[in-house]
Amino acid sequence: ETGVTQSPTHLIKTRGQQVTLRCSSQSGHNTVSWYQQALGQGPQFIFQYYREEENGRGNFPPRFSGLQFPNYSSELNVNALELDDSALYLCASSPRGGKDTEAFFGQGTRLTVV
Partner 1 sequence: QKEVEQNSGPLSVPEGAIASLNCTYSDRGSQSFFWYRQYSGKSPELIMSIYSNGDKEDGRFTAQLNKASQYVSLLIRDSQPSDSATYLCAVLSGGYNKLIFGAGTRLAVHP
Residues of this chain that bind partner 1 (CB under 8 A):
2, 31, 33, 35, 40-45, 48, 50, 55-56, 58, 88, 90, 92, 94, 97, 99-108
Q: Which of 21, 33, 24 is nearest to 94 (CA)?
A: 33
CB of 108 to partner 1, least distance (A): 4
Residue 16 or 61: the one with the smaller Cβ distance to partner 1 is 61
Which phi and psi angles does 10 have, rounded to 5°? -140, 150
CA proximity to 61, closest of 46, 42, 39: 46
The nearest distance, CB 28 to partner 1, in angstroms, is 16
Choice between 2 and 65, CB closer to partner 1: 2
The CA–CA distances, whole Å, from 107 to 6, 8, 76, 104 equal: 6, 10, 15, 10
- Closest separation between CB of residue 31 and partner 1, Å? 7
Nearer to partner 1, 3 or 16 (CB): 3
From the CB of 16, what's the least distance to partner 1, in Å? Answer: 27
CB 69 within 8 A of CB 52: yes
Among residues 16 and 95, whose Cβ is nearest to partner 1?
A: 95
Q: Specify the DSSP class assigned to residue 98.
A: S
